[in-house]
């Protein structure tokens, strides 16, 4: 039994997907070195959780390496945090990012990357490459210092 389009439209609906990105940035911040990445991330990080719970965040950048957005992706326990790669990529696409810098904290204060840190970095990099988005760095932060996987030749 065939239905006409008008009848079909009244029988069901489809969710509308709206893509919207608003920015209220008044001052542009350019990432030009590893230390600048750390300073920007430190300013964005929840200081009350840096030594308590692991968190994972992302800086989204334009072609000029200007920060166009920051997003906290997840908050976990004292030793791990779930990372949603699809969310990272979808937000990069939403704000038309040219590149990203990923970051997480180590509540223990040990800034050295674990095998899981290196593995997730590689997986995120591969996912972003599908959309021609560059993964510039993975920064591990503690209260007072950082470790850049890029600077240390791990990526």
pLDDT in tens, 58-94: 999 999 999 999 999 999 887 889 999 999 999 999 9
Given a cut of 60, whether residue 129 has pLDDT beyond it is yes
Which of the residue ranges 7-11, 37-41, 118-122 would you say has the lowest mean pLDDT?
A: 7-11
Q: Round the average pLDDT of the chain to a whole number and report it.
A: 88
The DSSP 8-state label assigned to residue 40 in this structure reads H
Q: Which residues contact 52 (CB under 8 A, 6 or more apart)?
A: 78, 107
Question: Model pTM?
Answer: 0.84
Q: What is the CATH code for 25-148?
A: 3.40.140.10
User: Dmax over Cα atoms in the chain, in whole Å?
Assistant: 69
Say which residue, 129 or 26, is predicted with more confidence: 129
Q: Which residues contact 143 (CB under 8 A, 6 or more apart)?
A: 47, 50, 51, 109
pLDDT for residue 99: 98
Q: Which residues contact 83 (CB under 8 A, 6 or more apart)?
A: 56, 73, 74, 104, 120, 124
Say which residue, 6 or 97, is predicted with more confidence: 97
CB of 29 closer than 8 Å to CB of 66: yes
Burial-class residue 56 by CB neighbours within 10 Å (0-12, 13-18, 19+). buried
pLDDT class of 21 with cuts at 50, 70, 90 = low
CB of 81 closer than 8 Å to CB of 104: yes
């Amino acid at each position: 039994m065939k239905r006409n389009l008008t009848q079909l439209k009244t029988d069901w609906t489809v969710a509308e997907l709206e893509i919207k990105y608003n920015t209220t940035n008044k001052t542009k911040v350019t990432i030009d070195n590893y230390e600048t990445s750390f300073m920007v991330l430190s300013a964005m990080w929840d200081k009350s959780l840096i030594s308590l719970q692991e968190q994972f965040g992302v800086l989204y950048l334009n072609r000029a390496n200007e920060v166009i957005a920051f997003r906290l992706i997840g908050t976990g326990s004292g030793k791990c945090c779930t990372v949603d790669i699809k969310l990272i990529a979808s937000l990069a696409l939403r704000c038309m990012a040219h590149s990203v810098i990923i970051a997480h904290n180590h509540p223990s204060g040990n800034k050295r990357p674990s095998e899981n840190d290196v593995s997730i970095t590689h997986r995120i990099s591969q996912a972003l490459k599908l959309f021609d988005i560059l993964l510039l760095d993975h920064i591990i932060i503690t209260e007072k210092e950082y470790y850049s996987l890029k600077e240390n030749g791990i990526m």
